Amino acid sequence: MASTLQPAEAAPAAVDPRILRSRRMLMDALIRLLNKKEFDAISIQEIADEATLNRATFYLHYPDKNALLQAMTAARFRDLVARRGLSFSNCDGAIRAIALGVCDYLAETTGCPTALLKMPLETSIIPVVESVFLEGAAHRTPTPGVDPTLLATTAAWAIFGAARRWFETPNRIPAEQMAAKIEAMVKPIFLSVKR
**The predicted structure's pLDDT at residue 119:** 57
In a domain, 39, yes or no: no
In a domain, 175, yes or no: yes
**The predicted structure's pLDDT at residue 1:** 43
In a domain, 137, yes or no: yes
**The predicted structure's pLDDT at residue 194:** 59
In a domain, 16, yes or no: no
> Which residues span the domain enclosing 160?
86-195
Kindly give the residue spans of alpha helices, DSSP state H, lying in 12-64.
Answer: 17-34, 44-50, 55-61
**What is the tally of structural domains in the chain?**
1
Report how far residue 152's alpha carbon sits from residue 158's, in angstroms, rounded to the nearest whole number.
10
In a domain, 31, yes or no: no
**106 CB-near residues (< 8 Å, 6+ apart):** 121, 163, 164, 166, 167
Query: How confident is the prediction along the chain (195 residues), in pLDDT tens digits per residue?
Result: 433 333 344 444 446 888 889 999 999 999 899 888 888 899 999 999 999 999 999 999 999 998 998 888 888 877 877 777 665 555 667 888 889 988 988 887 765 545 445 556 677 788 888 888 888 877 777 778 888 899 899 999 999 999 999 998 889 999 999 999 999 999 888 777 655
In a domain, 163, yes or no: yes
In a domain, 151, yes or no: yes
**The predicted structure's pLDDT at residue 87:** 59
The whole model's pTM is what? 0.73
**The predicted structure's pLDDT at residue 6:** 36
**83 CB-near residues (< 8 Å, 6+ apart):** none
Identify the H or E element spanning 100. helix 94-109
pLDDT tens digits along 86-128: 655 556 678 888 899 889 888 877 655 454 455 566 777 888 8
In a domain, 64, yes or no: no
Cα(first)–Cα(last) distance of the chain, in Å? 15
